[in-house]
Amino acid sequence: MIFIWLRGLLTRRAGRLAAAAAGIALAVALPAMLGAFLASAKVTMTARSLQRVPVDWQVEQQPGQALSVPMPGTSREVDFARIDGFESRQGGQTLTTGAGQILGLPADYAAAFPGELRMLAGTAKGPLLAQQTAANLHAAPGATVTVRRPGLPDAAVTVTGVVELPAADSLFQRVGAPPGAQPQAPPDNVLLLPAADWHRLSDGIPRDRVRTQFHIRVDRRLPSDPAAAYTAVTGQARNLEERMAGSGLVGDNLGAALDAAREDALYSQVLFLFLGMPAVVLAALLAALVTRAGEPRRAAEQALLRTRGASKGALVRLALIETALVGVAGVLAGLGAAALAGRALFGSANVSWWAAVLGLLVAAATVLPPALRATTVAAARRPVGGPRRSPAWLRYGLDLWLLAGSAVIFWITSRNGYQLVLVPEGLPQLSVDYWAFAGPALLWAGAGLLIWRLARTLPSSFVTWAARPLAGSLAGTVSAMLTRQRAPLARTATLAALAVAFAVSTSVFDTTYLQQAQVDAELTNGADVTVSQTTATQGQLAAVPGVARVEPLQHRFAYVGSDLQDLYGIRPTTTRLHDTYVSGGTAREILDRLARQPDALLVSQETVNDFQLHLGDQVRLRTEDGTTVPFHYAGIVTEFPTAPRDSFLVANASYLARHMPVDTTYLITTDGTPPHRVAADLRGRLGPAAKVTDVETSRQVIGSSLTAVDLSGLTAIELGYALALAGLATGLLLVLGFAERRRTYALARVLGATPRQLGSFVWAEVGLVGLAAAVLGALCGWALSRMLVAVLSGVFDPPPDALAVPWPYLAALAVLGVAALLAAGAATVRAARRPPLTVLRDL
């Protein structure tokens, strides 16, 4: 009997089984693909962390002690000495600097630790000046620089090259000091010498000014998971410190980078759960509704088997076999789709096999219960009489309670100023408060139940009004039929609306995230390309191919009281700022104040609070050379291109230039040419002294800390999934619902109804479902988008001015939804044209 039952299912109910399997496949495919995304993201984060660290460990020898153990991996000795300053004579002018450092490096240091030094000019064989030092001294390869040594006579060296120190922060760290005791910035004045030259210049310097380190590159065959790699690296570092017995301390640069990466991995897991789970729930609901749509027929068929002698145990076995068939087919299809998508998006077909277990559980929860309920003869009885009692959640207003809870949680977390990303003292850290995610979760659940309530309790007068354009004079009859079918109609409309809401909210959030990641990079870099420390003019830069616009930006430092802050000079009429960069008005209003008042000054909120400033107050800034310049406080600026995260000042460029010398930085907008190409062209034209940065490189640097998770693959997965889910929810459920009413349509044909009249019933139902899905789904998606972006506002720096709406994607969603509705209606109308006796015989 089991074989006969299976053959009958595959031949007579193949479409229904395939539909249920498709729902389970969707429930399996998304977590499997998201698992592949997460694994790929972790590999990328680990690899990027390794690439960004030129020196893995800096082992500093403690004063008066000798290291008693050999250094692991590749190691080189590096010596440091603090000196009083440098001096250079260029063009009849004597230039001096403040205190600095000289480093002694072995000859093969650059080859052993690629990325620690980058040659800008000259040759690496000999004394090398850091770029900022060369700019301060106006020194080029071949220049003579005097080193002012403490306790010793001055010494002269001939510079052979100019280098950049990309990892200067870690190179000059205080090994063993807590984060708060680290230097706020690396030294500006640095001279790098061959080891023999360093000993010749520094052996007589007081020992409290000298320190010795061993720079080490360890075996980088580490686990791909950044958390596991961090555990391995820090364990090795602690083991080395234990064996040195206090003779040395380990500065674990690689461990610090992996620590940040594992925090990013935690963030990617939050995205995985938070953005992906609603879709999995929708897929499970789709499978459940598909199965439930065939429940009356299954009950009738199994009741017939009971009357012919089949035992209840036999029917249970048939239900289990049907569940296994649907579950295994759905799991295999879902894993296959996930493997293909993973290879296309991430270059790997590895999927999360635990998703297969999830798929089998979904099958057991959605396919098995209806089949088990159908094992009794009573289940096949058609309900007679008035409507059944409303569900308990509807009577007690569960949807309204969920929405109220969502609003309360959102208000509490917003009032507390919760941010996912914290930046204490400039060090990005993640602080994930899962309680804050309860607001959107409750909103999603409450909105779904509210949509169900609205669709289930629609008054017949509204249904008649909505059906009249399609049904004409039959609107009342159509309304009576749809009102009688309001329960399955409400289920279809609710799932379709939730699918639309998921597509809208996911696409808006992902688009906003990608937009703000670019804004963040532009804020850090200033523009597509930024040029500083150059003698080139604005016109010369504008003539470079690929440059569309050049905006000069003046920069220097000034004291507010005893607080030294960055001071920027801008042209208010041509400068462009986002509204989120300012407070107390729009960006245009604040810039207009600068344009009207030459001595106007924009300050940070922190400065306003610290110095108790009021609009119009005079602010006297003191430059580093002692000059005092009066300004008037005119507004608050919260963010500014190239500015640090803490306090800074913005003033009129013309007023600034009249009262103090300034350095000019040029912000360049390209004409569509990739910024890295324009930056490379500018480096070739301007020479090594100029500092040129581009937004693409800056985004990679930022991405390694806060936005290491590349959402492009995740976005493609979720948006494609949302389209498939919306299409199936709108079209498939309608088709199945219409299929269950073939008996009704056939009887109507026997009683004299024309195909056109039957079409009125079909198209009215299609239109009502489409209207509910579009309107209610769009409203729910908009509310979810607003709350998602608000809850995750800490990810965005600065927060977005407004939600970024992906209109092309939403247009594609609308086209697909309409196409699914039209296809479902057309298929049903075509089926309704079949001879009624043939249909009744099949049933």
The percent of residues in the chain predicted with pLDDT above 90, rounded, is 15
List Cβ neighbours of 127 (8 Å cut-off, separation of 6 or more).
Answer: 145, 157, 158, 159, 160, 191, 192, 193, 194, 197
The pLDDT, as a whole number, for residue 533 is: 78
Give every residue of the chain whose pLDDT is below 70, as ranges. Answer: 1-2, 5-6, 9, 12, 179-182, 184, 267-268, 271-273, 293-302, 304, 306, 348-350, 352, 370-389, 415-434, 562, 624, 644-646, 698-714, 739-742, 792-798, 836-843
Written as six digits, the tokens of 12 are 């007579």
The pLDDT, as a whole number, for residue 582 is: 85
Q: For 349-474, list the strands marked E by DSSP.
A: 421-422, 429-430
Handedness of CA 118, 124, 130, 135 (dihedral sign): negative
Model confidence over 261-287: pLDDT tens digits?
A: 887 777 667 766 677 778 788 888 877
The pLDDT, as a whole number, for residue 181 is: 62
Residue in the block written with tokens 């922190």: 606
Residue 171, Cα to own-chain centre: how many angstroms? Answer: 31
Closest by CA position to 584, among listed 630, 635, 545: 635
How far apart are alpha carbons 770 and 182 in whole angstroms? 61
Is 517 a domain residue?
no
3-state SS assignment for residue 531:
strand
How far apart are alpha carbons 779 and 782 in whole angstroms? 5
How far apart are alpha carbons 547 and 682 in whole angstroms? 10
Q: Domain boundary at 633, 649, 670, which?
A: 670
Do 575 and 622 meet the contact criterion of CB atoms below 8 Å apart?
A: no
Half-sphere exposure in the Cβ direction for 242 (13 Å, CA):
6
Paired with 619 in beta bridges are: 631
Helix (H) or strand (E) holding 712: helix 711-727
How far apart are alpha carbons 382 and 503 in whole angstroms? 37
Closest by CA position to 644, among listed 568, 562, 571, 561: 568
How far apart are alpha carbons 651 and 585 in whole angstroms? 17
3-state SS assignment for residue 246:
coil
Judging by beta carbons within 10 Å of its beta carbon (0-12, 13-18, 19+), is residue 761 exposed, middle or buried?
Answer: buried
Q: Domain boundary at 653, 670, 687, which?
A: 670
* DSSP at 717: H
Is 189 a domain residue?
yes
How far apart are alpha carbons 453 and 457 in whole angstroms? 6
Domain that holds residue 179: 74-217
Give percent helix, percent strand, percent coil of the chain, each to the nearest 5: 60, 15, 25
Number of domains present in the structure of the chain: 2
Closest by CA position to 335, among listed 26, 39, 40, 723: 26
Is 748 a domain residue?
no
Is 558 a domain residue?
yes
Is 313 a domain residue?
no
270-271-276 Cα angle (round to 5): 115
Q: Is the pTM of this model over 0.95?
A: no
User: Could you give the angle at which helices 755-791 and 438-456 cross, rounded to 10 degrees?
Assistant: 160
Is 337 a domain residue?
no
Is 814 a domain residue?
no
Helix (H) or strand (E) holding 251: strand 248-252
How far apart are alpha carbons 206 and 203 in whole angstroms? 8
Handedness of CA 477, 483, 484, 486 (dihedral sign): positive
Do 161 and 124 meet the contact criterion of CB atoms below 8 Å apart?
A: yes
The pLDDT, as a whole number, for residue 660 is: 80
Number of residues assigned to the chain: 843
Please state whether beta strands 563-570 and 648-652 pair in parallel, antiparallel, or not at all (unpaired): parallel
Handedness of CA 216, 219, 224, 229 (dihedral sign): negative
The pLDDT, as a whole number, for residue 82 is: 92
Do 688 and 533 meet the contact criterion of CB atoms below 8 Å apart?
A: no
Query: What DSSP string describes 231-275?
Result: HHHHHHHHHHHHHHTTSEEEEEHHHHHHHHHHHHHHHHHHHHHHH
The pLDDT, as a whole number, for residue 425 is: 38
Is 449 a domain residue?
no
Residue in the block written with tokens 């479409």: 15
Other Cβ atoms less than 10 A from the Cβ of 270: the count is 17
How far apart are alpha carbons 635 and 640 in whole angstroms? 13
Paired with 637 in beta bridges are: 582
How far apart are alpha carbons 587 and 601 in whole angstroms? 14
Phi (first) and psi of residue 194, to 5 degrees: -60, 150
How far apart are alpha carbons 487 and 733 in whole angstroms? 13
List Cβ neighbours of 26 (8 Å cut-off, separation of 6 or more).
Answer: 279, 283, 286, 287, 334, 721, 724, 725, 728
Residue in the block written with tokens 């009624």: 836
Residue 836, Cα to own-chain centre: how many angstroms? Answer: 56
How far apart are alpha carbons 368 and 370 in whole angstroms? 6
Phi (first) and psi of residue 42, to 5 degrees: -65, -40
How far apart are alpha carbons 345 and 341 in whole angstroms? 6
Helix (H) or strand (E) holding 161: strand 161-164
Q: Domain boundary at 217, 233, 259, which?
A: 217
Do 43 and 222 meet the contact criterion of CB atoms below 8 Å apart?
A: no
